[in-house]
Structure 1
Amino acid sequence: MSNELEAFIEYISVTRALSKKSVEAYKGDLSSIEDELQIPLINLESNSVLSFLSKYKNKRTLNRKLSAINAFFDFCYKSHFSAEKTKYKFAKIPKLLPKFLSYKEIQNSLLLIDRNSWLGLRDYALIIFLFASGARISECLALRREDIEDGWLHIRHAKGEKERIVPVAKVALDAISTYLNEKPKENEYVWCNYKGDALSRISAYKITQKYLNVSPHVLRHSYATSLISGGADLRVVQELLGHASLLTTQIYTHIQKQDLKETVEVCHPLA
C-alpha cells in the first residue's frame, strides 16, 4: 500500500472516525487497484483507472468504487500530495421504487409462523420488530434488552455511529417479551440462533425469506412506505430512519405520488 493511501486510511479512521466496516471497505476498494496495477494510486492516469473500473458491470458497485477513489483524490489535493483535484463522474443509475410489502401481506405471512416453539416466537417477533421500527438489520442484530425502554428503542449502533431513538408499537414489544420469556438461554443480545448464540445476518435473511420471500431490508422500506402513505412528514421519516440526508428519504415520495395518481384515476370524472 502506497504512503498516500496509508495516510488516507489513517485520516478516515482517526480524523473522520468512520466505522471499522467503512474503513475496511475504502481500504479494500483502493488497495485492490494498487495491487492489480502495481502502481501507487496517486500516480495512475485517468485512462488506467477507468480501464480498471470497466470490469464492473454493476453500476452500484462501480459508483461505490468511484466514491472511494474521489474521496482519496480529494484528500490528496487538500493534503498537498497532488497539485490537481481529480474527480470522476458517477455512472447514472435509473431511479427505481424501493421494494416494499403492504401491511396485509405482512400480516398474512405472520399467520404462517408456528409459535408453539421459542424459535417460532423469535421469527414472529423479529419480523414484527423490523416492520415496527424501520431498523437496519445490523441495528436490529445489535439489539440488547436495555436498548428498549418505555416503548422507545435506543439504536446505539447506527450507520455512521449516529445514535437515534425510535418509538416502537406495543404489539412488537409484546412479541419480543413473549419470545424472551421462552428463550432457553440467556444472551446479551435479544436475537439468538438455536444454539443460543447471537443471530447472524445470514440467519436473519433466511427467516424473512422463509416467510416473506424478501430480505430484511424490504421491511425497512415497508416501514417507511407505510408512514409516507399515511401522511407522515418527510423530515420525521428521515429522523426515524436515521438518514443523514433528506435526499435519501425522498425516494419514498414517488410512492406518495403514485397514491395520489391512483386516487385521481379512481375518483375524478375526467380520469
Structure 2
Amino acid sequence: MSNELEAFVEYISVTRALSKRSVEAYRGDLNTLEDTLGKPLISIDSKTLFSALSIYKNKRTLNRKLSSVNAFFDFCYKSQFKDEKTKLKLSKIPKLLPKFISYKEIQSSLDLIDRSSWIGLRDYALIIYLYATGARISECLSLKSDDIDGEWLRIRHAKGEKERIVPIAKVAVEAVKSYLNEFKYENEFIWCNYRGENLSRISAYKITQKYLGVSPHVLRHSYATALITGGADLRVVQELLGHSSLLTTQIYTHIQKQNLKETVDVCHPMAKENI
C-alpha cells in the first residue's frame, strides 16, 4: 500500500471517524487497484483507471469503486499530494424508488409479537424504534441509554460521526423502557442478543425480516415516506435522516408529487369535471 493510500486510510479512520466496515471497504477497493496496476494509485491516469475498472459489469459495483477513487483523489488534492483535482465520472444508473411499508402493515405485524419475554419486548421495541426515528441500523445498534433524553434522541454514531438530535415518539420511548425493565444483563448498549451481548446487524435483519419481511433499512424509508405524505418539508426530512446533501433526500420527491396530485384530485372542484 502506497504512502498516500496509508495516509488516506488514517484520515478516514481517525479524522472522519468512519465505521470499521466503511474503512475496510475503501481500503479494499483502493488497495486492490494498486496491486492490480502495480504502482501507486496517485500516479495512475484516468484512462488507465477506467480500463482497470471495466471488469465490473454491474454499474452499482463500478460506481462504488469509482466513488472510492474519487474520495482518495479529493483527499490527495486537499492534502497537496496532487496538483490537479481529479474526479472520475460515475456511470448513470436508473433510480430505483425506495421500498416502504405502511404504518398499518407495521401495526399488524407488531400484534404478532409475543411480549411475554424480554426477547419479545426487544423485538417489539426495536421495530417501533426504527420506524419512529428513521435511524440507520448502524446508528440504532450503537444506541446507549443516555442517548435518549425524554422524547429526544441524540444520534452520535452517524456516518462520519455527524451528531444530530431528533424527536422520538413517546410510544417508542415507552417500548424501549419496557424492554430494558426486563433486560437482566449489564451492557452499556441498549440492543442486545439473548446472551446479553451487542446485537449484530445480521440479528437485527432477522428480526425485521421475521415480522415484516423487510430489512431494517426499509423502515428508514417508511419513516421518511410517512413524513413526506404527511406534508413534511423535504429539508426537514433531510435533517431528520442525517443526509449531508438534499440530493440524497430527493429520492422521496416522487412520493411528495404523488401525494400532491392525490390531494388535488380529491379536493379541487375542477378535478372531476370534463370540459
2:272 corresponds to: 269
Q: Report the secondary structure of 2:166's partner residue.
A: strand
Q: Which moved more, 1:141-150 or 1:80-89?
A: 80-89
Identity %: 74
Distance of 2:131 and 2:261 partners within structure 1: 26
1:56 paired residue number: 56
Shift of 1:145: 1.1
Partners in 2 of 1:171 and 1:141 — Cα distance? 19
Count residues in correspondence: 270
Matches of 2:79 and 2:177, distance apart in 1: 53
What does 1:212-227 align with in structure 2 at a 5 Å threshold?
Answer: 212-227=212-227
In 2 relative to 1, CA 7–148 (structure 1 residues): closer, same or farther, beyond 3 Å?
closer
The 1:263–1:182 alpha-carbon spacing in structure 2 relative to 1, beyond 3 Å, is: same
Under a length normalisation based on structure 2, what TM-score does the superposition of the two structures give?
Answer: 0.90
Cα gap change, 1:184/1:7 in structure 2, threshold over 3 Å: closer, same or farther?
closer
Post-superposition offset of 1:266: 5.7
Aligned to 2:4: 4
Write out per-residue CA displacement over residues 77-122 of structure 1, whole angstroms, 9 at most, x where no aligned residue. 4555445543321010211211111111111111111111111111
Residue ranges of structure 2 left out of the alignment (5+ in a row): none
Structure 1 stretches lacking a partner, 5+ long: none
Moved over 6 A (4+): none
Match of 1:65 in 2: 65
Q: How much is the aligned-residue C-alpha RMSD, in angstroms?
A: 2.1
Equivalent pair of 1:97/1:255 in contact (CA under 8 Å):
no
| 3-state SS of 1:60 partner | helix
Distance 1:20 1:109, change over 3 A: closer
State the match for 1:156 in structure 2: 156
What is the TM-score normalised by the length of structure 1?
0.91
2:30 aligned with 1:27? no
CA distance in 1, matches of 2:60, 2:93: 7
Distance 1:84 1:153, change over 3 A: closer
In the TM superposition, 1:230-241 aligns within 5 A as 230-241=230-241
> Is 253-262 or 138-147 further displaced after alignment?
253-262
Shift of 1:143: 0.9
Aligned to 1:44: 44
In the TM superposition, 1:156-195 aligns within 5 A as 156-195=156-195
